[in-house]
């Protein structure tokens, strides 16, 4: 599991991360400490901090490692030497900014951060952890607070250390720091797509820690006994009547929100799509299916949500966005309706709209033979072999700064690309 925490200076990132790490038994990765470690090494070697080439070479040659002590505190090593205390010295602090803004340096340290986090349950913080380092983190939080509140915290911190400074001076410095972080050309401070914003103004550190832990615990495991029972029933039914075979289950993300985008040939498709899926899923079904109270209750109990076909159902789209941000998995049929002839249809832009709103992986899937088992207009199914193939996750980048016309075109292009991926899975299935 990876939890990434971003936000401006003074929002409480470091303290919150350390406490959450202890509570959830996570490895705490302080990305800022790595920039300090490189700065310390450069100063020790008398490297000119304006010589970008030498600094990038140093970053490529240096070995920075972070480990946890028995007490849980983080120890920072440079080429095997413990420099935990040294990197916090004032002369290092005052020079970090010169190194942190060099693109080549940031690129190298991001590589190291990902390497350190590999195969670990990690919580990390920094001003680009959710946008650059781990944009696909299982949980992304953005801690914020108004400038006066953050300046007040810094003022109290300095007072406790015996440092005499005017509050107005700290506030002015805070404002300048924010402007610099937001407007810098390399990894500027911004809110990542799909991030959970936590306004810490007026909250204690303990309050913020509880908010994050409760959120993670709530959405780390989304299974309930009824859904598990109904999935077991579907496994038995699909095995008996359709000899269902499933391929690519390993492509389903273990955590975090995701979309399964699959073709739509039959009323059987939702059952087939989720029968062997290792994650609990949410579905969207046309409103008329909920008109029968008993059937409506049944499909609601297994996470089916009504959607209006006429025009764009804003409520359903908002719900899909909400579910994905909560780390849920949803099934979407890009074609929006069942095929009449068994062939793939052109996708509607709805899935593109959702992907444009939430940064999450899309799992293309192809369901084979449900059209023969129960085509459109049939009231009963036939017992024929059925397969479902989950493809590898695909990710999309989206530019928020384009105008509405280009944005709508982007939605359709994304939807078309998803259908192309489904088409490739179909061709592989047919050629198998």
Fold designation for 225-431 = Glycerol-3-phosphate (1)-acyltransferase (3.40.1130)
How do residues 315-369 score in pLDDT, each as one tens digit?
888 999 999 988 899 999 999 899 999 899 999 998 998 988 888 899 999 999 9
Q: In angstroms, rounded to a whole number, what is the distance separating the alpha carbons of residues 326 and 222?
A: 10
Asked whether the predicted pLDDT for residue 133 surpasses 70, the reply is yes
pLDDT confidence of residue 405? 67
Asked whether the predicted pLDDT for residue 406 surpasses 70, the reply is yes
Asked whether the predicted pLDDT for residue 407 surpasses 80, the reply is no
**Domain residue limits, the chain:** 2-220, 225-431
Q: In 3-state terms, what secondary structure has residue 143?
A: strand
Kindly provide the b/e burial profile for residues 237-250, where b requires at least 16 CB atoms within 10 angstroms of the residue's own CB. Answer: ebeebbebebbbee
Asked whether the predicted pLDDT for residue 224 surpasses 70, the reply is yes
Candidate CATH numbers 3.40.50.300, 3.80.10.10, 2.130.10.10, 1.20.120.140; the one for domain 2-220: 3.40.50.300
How do residues 73-96 score in pLDDT, each as one tens digit?
788 999 999 999 898 888 888 888
Q: pTM of this prediction?
A: 0.65
**Tokens 């480990």 appear where?**
67
Cβ within 8 Å of residue 208, ≥6 positions away:
12, 16, 143, 198, 200
Q: Do domains 2-220 and 225-431 have the same CATH topology?
A: no
pLDDT confidence of residue 277? 93
Asked whether the predicted pLDDT for residue 400 surpasses 70, the reply is no
How do residues 261-289 score in pLDDT, each as one tens digit?
999 999 999 999 999 999 999 999 888 88
Asked whether the predicted pLDDT for residue 256 surpasses 90, the reply is no
**Tokens 């992986």 appear where?**
361
Q: In angstroms, rounded to a whole number, what is the distance separating the alpha carbons of residues 241 and 35?
A: 59
């Amino acid at each position: 599991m990876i939890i990434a925490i971003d936000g401006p200076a003074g929002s409480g990132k470091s303290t919150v991360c350390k406490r959450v790490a202890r509570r959830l038994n996570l490895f705490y990765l302080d990305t800022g400490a790595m920039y300090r470690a490189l700065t310390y090494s450069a100063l020790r070697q008398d490297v000119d901090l304006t010589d970008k080439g030498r600094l990038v070479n140093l970053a490529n040659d240096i070995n920075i490692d972070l480990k946890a002590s028995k007490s849980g505190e983080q120890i920072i090593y440079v080429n095997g030497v413990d420099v935990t205390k040294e990197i916090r010295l004032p002369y290092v602090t005052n020079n970090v900014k010169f190194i942190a803004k060099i693109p080549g340096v940031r690129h190298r340290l991001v590589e190291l951060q990902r390497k350190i986090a590999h195969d670990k349950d990690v919580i990390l913080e920094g001003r680009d952890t959710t946008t650059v380092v781990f944009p696909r983190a299982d949980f992304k939080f953005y801690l914020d607070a108004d400038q006066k509140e953050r300046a007040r915290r810094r003022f109290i911190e300095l007072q406790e250390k015996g440092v005499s400074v005017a509050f107005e001076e700290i506030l002015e410095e805070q404002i300048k720091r924010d402007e610099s972080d937001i407007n810098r050309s390399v990894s500027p401070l911004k809110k990542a797509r799909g991030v959970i914003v936590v306004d810490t103004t007026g909250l204690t550190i303990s309050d913020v820690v509880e908010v994050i832990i409760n959120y993670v615990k709530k959405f780390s495991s989304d299974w309930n006994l009824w859904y598990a029972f109904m999935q077991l029933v579907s496994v038995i039914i699909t095995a008996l009547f359709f000899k269902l075979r499933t391929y690519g289950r390993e492509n389903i993300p273990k955590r975090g929100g995701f979309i399964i985008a699959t073709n739509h040939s039959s009323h059987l498709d939702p059952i087939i799509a989720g029968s062997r899926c290792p994650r609990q899923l949410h579905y969207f079904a046309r409103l008329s299916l909920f008109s029968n109270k008993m059937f409506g209750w049944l499909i609601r109990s297994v996470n089916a949500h009504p959607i209006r076909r006429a025009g764009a159902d804003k409520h359903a789209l908002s719900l899909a966005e909400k579910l994905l941000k909560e780390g849920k998995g949803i099934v979407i049929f890009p074609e929006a309706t069942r095929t009449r002839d068994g062939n793939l249809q052109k996708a509607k832009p709805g899935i593109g709209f959702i992907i444009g709103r939430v940064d999450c992986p899309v799992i293309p899937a192809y369901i084979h033979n449900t059209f023969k088992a129960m085509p459109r207009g049939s009231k009963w199914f036939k017992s024929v072999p059925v397969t479902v193939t989950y493809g590898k996750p695909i990710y999309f980048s989206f530019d928020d700064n384009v105008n509405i016309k280009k944005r709508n075109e982007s939605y359709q292009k994304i939807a078309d690309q998803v259908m192309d991926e489904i088409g490739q899975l179909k061709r592989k299935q047919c050629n198998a």
